[in-house]
Structure formats: C-alpha cells, structure tokens
Structure 1
C-alpha cells in the first residue's frame, strides 16, 4: 500500500505540473518531488501545468463558471485547490514511507479541496 501512495503522489505531481518523472530537467539530483516542494506554497504558478491556469482564466469550464457566479471571482479558490493538490502530491511522494500520507487521509484532503473549489459540500 505504501508504494501505491508514492505512485499516487508522483502521478498527481506529473498531472498538475505537466512534467514527467523522467523529464530531462530532473538531473543532477533534482527530482519531481523536490521541484514541487521548492515551489510550494508561494511559487506554485511557476510549476503548475499552464493549461490549467488558462482554463481558469478564460472560464471555459462550465462547472468553474457556474461556481464563480455563485460566489464571485474564484481565483483564490483555484489557488487553494491547486496548492492543496500539489501539496498532497508532495507528501505522498516523500522518500521515507513513514512520512507519506495514508490513502484515507489523501481522499479526505482531495474531497475537501474539491468542496472548497466548488463552494459546496459533495
């Protein structure tokens, strides 16, 4: 199960950064995990997959657009959601298995991020 948590963390970081674990930028000791860790929380926009930000800026996502209407501009919620997901990826991909989050906690944090983003309880 610990390997599953690690793999989930790496997959999350790959999806939300748009970088692969095997990307050529990860050499000389730099890893995807370290790349994300160094950017959180203040420099998250430098590492997040640009298409995620583009969709958020243009409002092309109907769920996001309707949520904006319910609560006003959702930029802060988008940031909280992305930082939260990247943070989950970082904790799940810690080198030491003892430092990794348990999957039940991962699920709870992902649900909380989604609820916060949508502005409602699911």
Structure 2
C-alpha cells in the first residue's frame, strides 16, 4: 500500500509476451537460472537467433535464390525490430521507459514498412 499506480507493469508484461511469442520460450523455462531471464537471453542472442530462424525458414521458401535472399532479409529485419521492441518494453530499469502507445506505434510502423 502507499505506492503509486503505474502502467510500467503492463508495458513490461507486453514486452515479455512479444518475446515469448517470437522465441517460443517461457519466462519460467528451465534454462533461465543464475540471473539469466527471457529478456537477457533475447538481448544476448538476438543476431544468432534471427540468423537461425532465417536459415530454418529458407528451406520452406519456394522462390528463386534471389527472391529467397530478399525474403530472408525481410524476415531478419522484421524479427530484429520485433525483438528490439520486446526488449525495450521489458527492460527492468530505464531512464526513459517505453509507454504502451510507443510500443503500439513501433509495431504499426514495423507492419507498415515490412508487410
């Protein structure tokens, strides 16, 4: 009691939800021990995970090699922007915390630019 109500928890939860949806990992996963959590995992492995996803999906893309490369590049950019938004929202401490309207705006921008 006595503390101010804040939307910070909602934004944090939204960021974690984004990270869960696009990594397929839960914050309660057995791998998250000794200070490692979903936020830190994505932040540390962002380039590797994106590269793995692109390589995996390339096998299922039925385009020419040139089209496949463009599709993979677009997918990599899309995932990178989504992960960055999730990381920004789920930061435990920030001088300039992201609001939910900022997160929604970022996701709309990603959609408009890439889709």
Question: Which TM-score band (shorter chain)?
Answer: 0.7 to 0.9
The equivalent of 2:4 in structure 1 is none
| Structure 1 gaps, min length 5 | none
- Within a 5 Å distance, the mapping from 1:1-122 to structure 2 comes to 1-40=7-46, 42-45=47-50, 50=53, 54=56, 57-59=59-61, 73-96=70-93, 98-118=95-115
Structure 2 contact 50–79 (Cα < 8 Å) conserved:
no
Distance 1:87 1:34, change over 3 A: same
| Residue number in structure 1 paired with 2:3 | none
The whole-number CA distance in structure 1 between the counterparts of 2:59 and 2:114 is 15
Unmatched runs of 5 consecutive residues or more in structure 2: 1-6
**Mean Cα displacement is larger for which, 3-12 or 73-82?**
73-82
- The number of aligned residues is 105
Q: CA deviation at 1:110?
A: 0.6
TM-score (norm 2): 0.75
Q: Matches of 2:111 and 2:55 in 1, distance apart?
A: 16
Structure 1 runs (4+) greater than 6 angstroms displaced: none
